[in-house]
Amino acid sequence: MATLPSPRYLAFPFRIEETGAVTADRSQHVRQQIEQVLFTNPGERVFRADFGAGVQALVFEPNDSALAAVTKKRLVSSLSEALAGEVDPRTLTVDVVSEEEKLFVVVSYSLATLGHTERQEILLGTAGTPSGGAHG
């Protein structure tokens, strides 16, 4: 019995190497979509003005529980729309924790139809340099 090949997606950021366009598997593709939502400013995309959460700007905001609550609400809304069909919406959770000069964003989800659970952590620090990690 033959099995279907695993789908491949164009990697983000888009790039071409000697062998052609760089691709990503489904799990990588979803993680890259999350990064696009987090680090794209609303209004930055011409035909999708409501796309993005613009978390880079949060580095310059007062870091308190109010910021974490507003950020969480914005991220849940943006990610739910961007990941529709890729992620089981019942499993999508976003946690935003402010700790001194750092803001931690943790996104957990299960890939739709596969049930594979993923967790992605993003740290925004005072230097304005985001760092992230993905855990499967």
Alpha carbon 79 to chain centroid distance?
7
Q: What is the mean pLDDT of residues 68-91?
A: 89
Please check the confidence at residue 128 and state whether its pLDDT lies above 70: no
- Distance (Å, rounded) from C-alpha 19 to C-alpha 51? 32
- Which residues, in sequence order, are CB contacts of 73 under 8 Å at separation 6+? none
At 34, list the tokens: 């999350």
Please, which residues have CB within 8 angstroms of residue 55's CB and are 6 or more apart in sequence? 38, 39, 71, 75, 103, 105, 122, 124, 130
**Tell me, which fold does domain 9-135 have in CATH?**
Nuclear Transport Factor 2; Chain: A, (3.10.450)
- Nearest-Å Rg of the Cα atoms of the chain is 16
| pLDDT computed for residue 62 by the predictor | 77
Model pLDDT for residues 3-26, shown as the tens digit of each residue: 556 778 888 888 899 999 999 988
Q: How far apart are the first and last CA of the chain?
A: 29
Write phi, then psi, for 128 (nearest 5 degrees).
Answer: 80, 10
Give me the pLDDT at residue 18, please.
Answer: 93
| Predicted pLDDT of residue 130 | 47
Angle among Cα 8, 12, 15 to the nearest 5 degrees reads: 90
Question: Which residues sit opposite 99 in a β-bridge?
Answer: 102
Residue 99 sits at φ, ψ, to 5 deg, of -140, 105
